[in-house]
Amino acid sequence: MEARILDEFRAIVGAADLITEPEQLSTYECDGLTVFRVLPLAVLLPTSTEEVQAIVRVCHREKIPFVARGSGTGLSGGALPAANGIVIGLSRMNRILEVDLPNQRVIVEPGVMNLNVTARVAPDGYFYAPDPSSQQVCSIGGNVAENSGGAHCLKYGFTTTHVMGLEVVLPDGSLAHFGDTTVDRPGYDLCGVFVGSEGTLGIATKVILRIMKKPEVVQVLLAAFNSTTEAGAAVSAIIAAGMLPAAIEMMDNLAIQAAEAAVHANYPDCGGLLLVELDGPAPEVETLMEEVVEACTRCGAWEIRLAQSDAERARVWMGRKAAFAAVGRISPAYIVQDGVIPRTALPFVMSEISRLGSARGLRVANVFHAGDGNLHPLVLYDDAVPGQDKLAEELAGEILRLCIRAGGSITGEHGVGEEKKLFMSEMFAEPDLETMQLVRCAFDPEHLSNPDKIFPRPRLCGERPGVYEPHPLETAGVAQRF
Amino acid sequence: MPAAVQQVSWSELAADLTGRAGPCPRSTGQEHLRAATAADAVDGVAPRMIAEPGTAEDLASCLRWARGAGLKVTPRGGGTKMGWGNPPAACDLLLSTARLNRVCEHAWADMTVIAEAGCRVADLQKALAEHGQHLALDPLWPERATLGGILSTNDSGTLRLRYGSLRDLIIGITVALPDGTLARSGGKVVKNVAGYDLAKLFTGALGTLGVIVQAIFRLHPLPRETRSLTFSGTPAALEQLLLSILASRLTPVGLQLRAAPGGAQLDIRFDGTAAGILAQVDQVDQVRQLAAPSPAPSDAPADIWTSHQAIWDGAAPALVARLSVLPAQIAAVCALIERSAAARSLAWRLVVQGVGAGYMRLEGDEPALRSTFLALREELAGIGATKPGELKPVVTKPGGTIVALGCPLAVKRGLDVWGPASDAQPLMVRIKQRFDPDGTLSPGRFLGGI
């Protein structure tokens, strides 16, 4: 990078917050999906909206691509640096700016940790609902980019449900405000468009969050079944009875083994484990929990446990939340997959996953947000065996195709990022993707903000959308669509 | 809908219309094209014709044809909210979704539904109720309003406190763009973060970006039992009670404050099991006793949860506006409206949901309606800006918003129904230009002249 530009960056953030040494830059070369690595030219750590704006203005003037980064816990390569680009790390913008309890709003900077929002309002009986498993370390800005979910989004919704407003530095360095502390601000719902756009539409520098009152009681039930099919039938029975639990999680035997090895959650050794959490007014929860027990029993549960204390409940959840990392205890290497299916397709999809795995001699551990059909198959392999990594990658891809065939999605909460952009053309038709590009081009016509993510091919904003007009490069035989 | 339908040929109409229109798309179906009548006017702007395509593909090709012919198009569903927004700068063709009215797939075990845009809300709810489910939204005039219409106007009702608004319920969308593209976003699974969320972009866009042809929603179980209570008191006391309820561990489904010159009421609704409701009714009375001096509640009459609809009925001329404030500003808004209306001898009514969104009605002569509305807008913008120790505005300007929805055309012509645009307006204009570069759709109806 040219010295004059580095000088300009240094003048904006100060020498201490401009990283250019290769050893230090390597910290930023990947996110939680470590298979993709690109060394950025520089990393800048701004401390204010004004600094972010100044940085982005320079990028816009010089056509330097930039990638915003929170804690780097993403699992789809969304924070992977752009080649010849910079990373804008937002970890120093970590202040909780305002807490408005009567109106149940909290205004934060993007670098605030997810769990710190709840920690701040918990003494007054409130919580911030989205709870991705990485909530101790992941940032609100990252949650906004990825529209993060978590175990409790079955009842409470995703990040987009809880973000009421945003201050955003647009890719040309200008500042815009979307949404507000009040609902129904006139105009397009740009807040809704921005949340989940994976950093491709700009950088959020302030976030207005909705907080909620903690429920009166929370009960967690563990039910052991012989198979995930039986456990899946219990999920359907619970939903069909007209209940909306706070969470329904499922783990198969491999996942249980892993969780036991890692955190000793004291799970029963079974083929399919269901974890059902109900919350709300005490008499309501008691009545409904009886019905859950009944449904589980009817579907073949041979052991049912109700967590009796906060500590016990925390331990039950610890096993589930640690499951991804825990798989490291039973396999030298593994791929974390994230797909969604209609809940009713679960038995079919489970047996297919098992069949696809066996055909390649690979094991798959399964952890699901079963209530909303979000699967997290963990494809286990041995990286010491030549070629097995390729087989595992292939299997992970086949599982995604299975999700698409079942009427589902290639990602429920990890995002498309770098990892799944080729699958976008399998899930969506070309006109769908072209239409999404219209949004992209309105925000970022020069494709500077986290370029080359989400979409399967680079597009130029001058292209006409939709009506199958070949790009001049295609006509000339220089490029082709895929 | 106009009773007398004059059948004319597409080419006659098209030629009459512009003289520039090329051959009509083969599939549009001439029998579903007719001349418009005076009753089809959108805020006094009379379209020349109405097309009622029977498939999404036909609608898209019709739209593309219209764009090519240089026509201005306004989409129409049930026609219940055509007067929302500013008067269109022009309207040649009404593109009706009346024939796109199917419930395509109710996957009750997955609690999702796919339905066409012209499907009426009540028809959808009836189909869903067969499996004990509903779209957890109670918009205006469900017997006539269509899904496309409630989406385009982002309508919502009293269930919002618990279930959110349409943005929280829609999980997939198919839209037709002016160039004839049919595009889809989202899908039929509740949890899905693949690609941009176009469903949210189109929700509330008032048909300025494209025409919604199909939508997919997540569903909720119908409540097992339900019970509603009504408290009476001053707006200030009831706001205190409302905030105390929000700060408690009660889980009301509906919470609304109604006010008029004669007094104010707070309605609360609980859904759930009989035992759960009973416990909550006990608790809410404890909250009341701690919150503010007010009489014990009574069981609410059945129709209170359609108050947001009833506010549209009354003496004319009148102005109905949608307003949005923080919950802790509801009493201040009541006082503001009361003062402003009294100063100009206007009758007024207000119904506000617990989330801070609601409707206001003013009745009186036209000049007073306009001046009162504009004065209210100005004062609302500054509401909550003061009191030391309270929330300091850091991110956005304080205050609420007010949008005029229903009023005599003469009143509307003297004001911008939306109010001032924000610093996001240039971006909104760029989005409009990308989706509708020729300004074919609903020109001038939206915020900031979009």
Supply B204's token pair: 């509330």
State the Cα–Cα distance between residues A184 and B156, nearest whole angstrom: 10
Adjacent-strand bridge partners of A302: none
Structure confidence by residue, pLDDT tens digits, A9-54? 999 999 999 999 999 999 999 999 988 999 999 999 999 999 999 9
CB contact under 8 A, A439 and B200: no
State yes or no: pLDDT of A468 exceeds 70. no
CB contact under 8 A, A409 and B222: no
What distance in Å separates residue B1's CA from the closest CA in chain A? 29
In chain A, which residue's Cα lies nearest the Cα of B389? A100
What is the pTM assigned to this prediction? 0.94
The arithmetic mean of pLDDT across residues A79-96, rounded, is 97
Res B16: pLDDT: 52
Res A278: pLDDT: 96
Structure confidence by residue, pLDDT tens digits, B366-391? 999 999 999 999 999 887 654 444 44
Res A302: pLDDT: 97
Instruction: Tell me the average pLDDT of chain A.
Output: 92
Distances (CA, A) of A110 to A46, A166, A210, A231, A478: 11, 10, 15, 39, 41
Q: Model ipTM?
A: 0.93
Between residues B447 and A476, the one the model is more confident about: B447
State the Cα–Cα distance between residues A250 and A367, nearest whole angstrom: 6
Closest CA to B321 of B380, B272, B246: B380
* Residue with the two structure tokens 């000339």: A476
Structure confidence by residue, pLDDT tens digits, A301-343? 999 999 988 898 988 888 888 888 888 899 999 999 999 999 8
Contacts of B326 in chain A (CB under 8 A): 100, 103, 105, 181-182
The arithmetic mean of pLDDT across residues B306-318, rounded, is 95
Which residues are within 8 A (CB) of A244 and not within 5 positions of it... i.e. 6 or more apart? Answer: A154, A155, B220, B221
Which of B113, B193, B392, B436 to mutate to probe the A interface, most A CBs <10 Å? B193
Closest to B190 (Cβ–Cβ): which among A196, A284, A372? A372
The arithmetic mean of pLDDT across residues A287-291, rounded, is 95
CB contact under 8 A, A407 and B325: no
CB contact under 8 A, A244 and B203: no
State phi, psi for B103 to the nearest 5 degrees. Answer: -90, 110
In chain A, which residue's Cα lies nearest the Cα of B156? A184
What distance in Å separates residue A283's CA from the closest CA in chain B? 5
Which residues are within 8 A (CB) of A186 and not within 5 positions of it... i.e. 6 or more apart? Answer: B401, B403, B418, B419, B447
Res B10: pLDDT: 53
Distances (CA, A) of A17 to A20, A37, A43, A448, B308: 10, 22, 8, 22, 54
The arithmetic mean of pLDDT across residues B406-434, rounded, is 95
CB contact under 8 A, B434 and A438: yes
In chain B, which residue's Cα lies nearest the Cα of A192? B200
CB contact under 8 A, B224 and A160: no
Contacts of A196 in chain B (CB under 8 A): 193, 196-197
The arithmetic mean of pLDDT across residues A280-291, rounded, is 94
Instruction: Tell me the average pLDDT of chain B.
Output: 90
Closest to A170 (Cβ–Cβ): which among B179, B325, B427? B427
What distance in Å separates residue A192's CA from the closest CA in chain B? 6
Contacts of B175 in chain A (CB under 8 A): 435
CB contact under 8 A, B324 and A182: yes
Supply A23's token pair: 């050893």
What distance in Å separates residue B159's CA from the closest CA in chain A? 15
What distance in Å separates residue A20's CA from the closest CA in chain B? 32
Res B11: pLDDT: 54
Res A151: pLDDT: 84
What distance in Å separates residue B168's CA from the closest CA in chain A? 6
Contacts of A415 in chain B (CB under 8 A): 193
Contacts of A214 in chain B (CB under 8 A): 249
Q: Report the relative pairing of strands A363-369 and B220-221 from DSSP bridges.
A: unpaired
* Residue with the two structure tokens 């679960």: A346
Cβ-contact B216, B112 below 8 angstroms: yes
Cα angle A209-A215-A218, degrees, rounded to a multiple of 5: 125
